[in-house]
């Protein structure tokens, strides 16, 4: 499927929360430089905010269209009594109204009113013929995202205030709640532009996929001034390429828990654009595989990478499994065919083994015993740490090359107990492969084996790729071993995934993908 050059041209909005007017003005200009189309100014974040003085300074220096927001404290749960709650609410509402009046005079493009106090204020603004500024009515929900029906009713209530645009923000408890937001955006009977998304890691896809389902704005934060729950403007522009997302875009993503470490988007999305393929790749923080696959069953969700801790469990949800993946007992890639069936594959196996083989060949280590499939691994002792999905893939690959494999794992089963690894003495010239998260950011100071044994290994491979140069690889290099980074495995398995994702539209651009990895990882 082609069409990668089509665009939906979604508006990207930078949410600004500076504490001074000077910083707010500076941030507006930075937002423009970072690719924002509009800025949202949170007046309530400005210390000692004074309507006439501060709004004039902001709006006379705006480089982009401006949304003026003053978040009112309608929820008085932390106040001491009803009178105090009402007094504060009325005071803020009055100040807010004065701000909106002045904002209109100075040229604010949008004014944002919260639903709780919107009806009377919108009517007043309309009565005073504030036609120059469009009115956004917003609702910030606590708890789980409401049902599709409740969202529909809420949207209709918000539109009935006379709003020119409505905005609904929730807090996601589960990624499957985002399906309700997508349904609202794509099936709503509301006739005004709608913004709807959920904050937090589980809700991230609601923001990134908003252009696909018809959202009016995509929110982002300034580089260096991150806002919890929002992607950065840079990632929206460079990693996710949101300007290219439209209703025909196929969705791919990494199913994992956690998922924030993933570098998949900065590799797959530019590759899709390079191939002129209309797809997007996003992180998917999944708590329940069964519920996830039940909810996201559309062919629009066309494929998935599978990460920790789901590579083995995901097999259960595949309608068919490739023989190699079946022999490993783990999948790292799932493709949804046109008939809706899920097909499981494993690209980890060949990615890791060829990375190890090529590294040995590059160092030109002679091996008279390299007869089995012409592999330098033939006959070598091959030590694998971890028997999860990645560990199994590496072990099966090593066995297929004639290596003698020993596996150490916490839940060891047929493997050796992990605790005994600290006393294990490998053969001279053995291969070590770490397939556990040990050494992954932020806990980067650990290694899975005794440091004194590293000198026995010809080569040490670490599946961890954040950081790129792990402590294990540094210690191995100091001991004289060849080091192979998990980045190399990541690249090679991603090339395999790209071929599966795009369904043979064109060859995966290996040189292009390698350049991205070398530059960005």
Tens digits of per-residue pLDDT, 424-462? Answer: 999 999 999 999 999 998 899 999 999 999 999 999 999
At 501, list the tokens. Answer: 């994702």
- How high is the pLDDT of residue 138? 93
pLDDT exceeds cutoff 70 at 71: yes
Lowest-pLDDT range, 118-122, 332-336, 375-379?
A: 118-122
- How high is the pLDDT of residue 81? 45
pLDDT bin (cut points 50, 70, 90) of residue 274 is: very high
Strands across the sheet with 381-385, in order?
416-417, 404-409, 381-385, 430-434, 457-462, 482-484
78: nearest Cα among 92, 88, 93: 88
Whole-angstrom Cα distance, residue 145 to residue 172?
6
- How high is the pLDDT of residue 463? 96
- How far are the Cα atoms of 352, 370, 453 from residue 365, in angstroms, in the given order? 19, 11, 20
Whole-angstrom Cα distance, residue 48 to residue 303?
50
Tens digits of per-residue pLDDT, 178-207? Answer: 999 999 999 988 999 999 999 889 999 999
- How high is the pLDDT of residue 98? 64
At 154 the three-state DSSP class reads: helix
Whole-angstrom Cα distance, residue 396 to residue 348?
10
- How high is the pLDDT of residue 127? 63
Do residues 45 and 21 lie in contact, with contact meaning Cβ atoms separated by under 8 Å?
A: no
- How high is the pLDDT of residue 520? 86
Q: Which is more confidently placed, 261 or 430?
A: 430
At 246, list the tokens. Answer: 């439209």
- How high is the pLDDT of residue 72? 64
DSSP single-letter state for residue 237? I
The one catalytic residue among 241, 250, 263, 311: 311
pLDDT exceeds cutoff 60 at 227: yes
Maximum mean pLDDT: which of 125-139, 263-277, 372-386:
263-277
Q: Which is more confidently placed, 9 or 260?
A: 260
Tens digits of per-residue pLDDT, 384-432? Answer: 999 999 999 999 999 999 999 999 998 877 899 999 999 999 999 999 9
The DSSP H or E segment spanning 194 is strand 194-199
- How high is the pLDDT of residue 188? 86
pLDDT bin (cut points 50, 70, 90) of residue 53 is: confident
Lowest-pLDDT range, 67-76, 220-229, 386-395, 491-500?
A: 67-76
- How far are the Cα atoms of 176, 350, 354, 366, 370 from residue 374, in angstroms, in the given order? 48, 15, 12, 12, 5
Instruction: Work out the number of other CB atoms within 10 angstroms of the CB of residue 157.
Output: 15
- How high is the pLDDT of residue 371? 47
CB proximity list for 418: less than 8 A, separation 6 or greater? 385, 408, 409, 410, 412
Whole-angstrom Cα distance, residue 245 to residue 8?
6
Active site residue 311: yes
At 470 the three-state DSSP class reads: coil
pTM of the model: 0.88
The dihedral formed by the CA atoms of 270, 271, 273 and 275, expressed in degrees to the nearest 10: 160
First to last CA, the chain: 29
Lowest-pLDDT range, 18-32, 49-63, 330-344, 484-498?
A: 49-63
Tell me phi and psi for residue 196, to 5 degrees. Answer: -150, 130
The dihedral formed by the CA atoms of 160, 164, 168 and 169, expressed in degrees to the nearest 10: -150
pLDDT exceeds cutoff 50 at 6: no
- How high is the pLDDT of residue 506? 74
- How high is the pLDDT of residue 104? 67
Do residues 398 and 408 lie in contact, with contact meaning Cβ atoms separated by under 8 Å?
A: no
- How high is the pLDDT of residue 10? 83
Residue 238, judged by CB atoms within 10 A of its CB (0-12, 13-18, 19+), counts as middle
Lowest-pLDDT range, 40-54, 72-86, 323-337, 479-493?
A: 72-86
Rounded to 5°, the CA angle 397-398-402 comes to 120
Tens digits of per-residue pLDDT, 148-180? Answer: 999 999 999 999 998 999 999 999 999 999 999
């Amino acid at each position: 499927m082609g069409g990668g050059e089509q665009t939906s041209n979604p508006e990207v909005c930078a949410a600004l929360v500076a504490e001074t007017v000077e910083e707010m003005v500076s941030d507006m200009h930075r937002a423009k430089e970072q690719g924002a189309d509009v800025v949202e100014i949170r007046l309530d974040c400005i210390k000692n905010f004074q309507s006439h003085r501060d709004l004039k300074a902001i709006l006379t220096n705006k480089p982009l269209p401006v949304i003026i927001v003053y978040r009112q404290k309608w929820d008085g749960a932390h106040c001491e009594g009803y009178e105090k709650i009402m007094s504060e609410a009325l005071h803020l509402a009055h100040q807010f109204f004065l701000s909106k009046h002045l904002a209109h005079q100075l040229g604010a493009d949008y004014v944002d009113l919260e639903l709780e106090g919107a009806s009377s204020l919108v009517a007043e603004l309309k009565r005073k013929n504030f036609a120059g500024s469009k009115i956004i009515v917003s609702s910030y929900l606590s708890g789980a995202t409401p049902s599709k029906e409740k969202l529909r009713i809420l949207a209709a209530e918000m539109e009935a205030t006379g709003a020119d645009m409505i905005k609904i923000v929730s807090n996601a408890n589960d990624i499957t709640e985002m399906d309700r937001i997508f349904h609202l955006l794509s099936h709503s009977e509301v006739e005004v532009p709608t913004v709807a998304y959920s904050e937090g890691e589980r809700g991230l896809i609601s923001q990134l996929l908003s252009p696909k389902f018809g959202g009016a704005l995509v929110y982002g934060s300034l580089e260096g001034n991150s806002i919890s729950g929002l992607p950065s403007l840079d990632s929206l522009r460079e990693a996710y390429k949101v300007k290219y997302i439209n209703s025909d875009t196929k969705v791919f993503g990494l199913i994992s828990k956690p998922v924030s470490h993933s570098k998949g988007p900065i590799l797959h999305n530019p590759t899709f654009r390079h191939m002129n393929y209309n797809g997007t790749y996003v992180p998917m923080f999944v708590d329940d595989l069964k519920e996830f696959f039940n909810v996201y069953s559309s062919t629009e969700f066309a494929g998935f990478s599978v990460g920790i801790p789901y590579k083995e469990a995901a097999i259960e949800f595949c309608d068919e499994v490739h023989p190699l993946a079946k022999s490993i007992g783990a999948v790292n890639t799932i493709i949804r065919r046109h008939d809706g069936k899920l097909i499981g594959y494993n690209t980890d196996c060949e990615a890791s083994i060829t990375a190890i083989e090529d590294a040995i060949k590059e160092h030109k280590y002679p091996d008279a015993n390299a007869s089995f499939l012409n592999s330098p691994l033939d006959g070598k002792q091959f030590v694998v740490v971890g028997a999860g999905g990645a560990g199994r893939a590496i072990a099966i690959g090593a066995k297929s090359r004639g290596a003698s494999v020993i596996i150490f794992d916490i839940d060891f089963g047929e493997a050796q107990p992990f605790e005994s690894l600290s006393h294990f003495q490998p053969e001279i010239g053995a291969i070590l492969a770490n397939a556990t998260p040990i050494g992954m950011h932020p806990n980067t100071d650990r290694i899975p084996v005794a440091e004194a044994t590293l000198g026995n290994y010809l080569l040490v491979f670490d599946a961890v790729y954040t950081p790129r140069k792990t402590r294990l690889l540094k210690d191995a290099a100091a001991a004289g071993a060849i080091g192979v980074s998990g980045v190399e495995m990541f690249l090679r398995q991603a090339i395999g995934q790209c071929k599966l994702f795009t369904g043979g539209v064109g060859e995966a651009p290996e040189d292009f993908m390698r350049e991205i990895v070398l530059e960005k990882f």
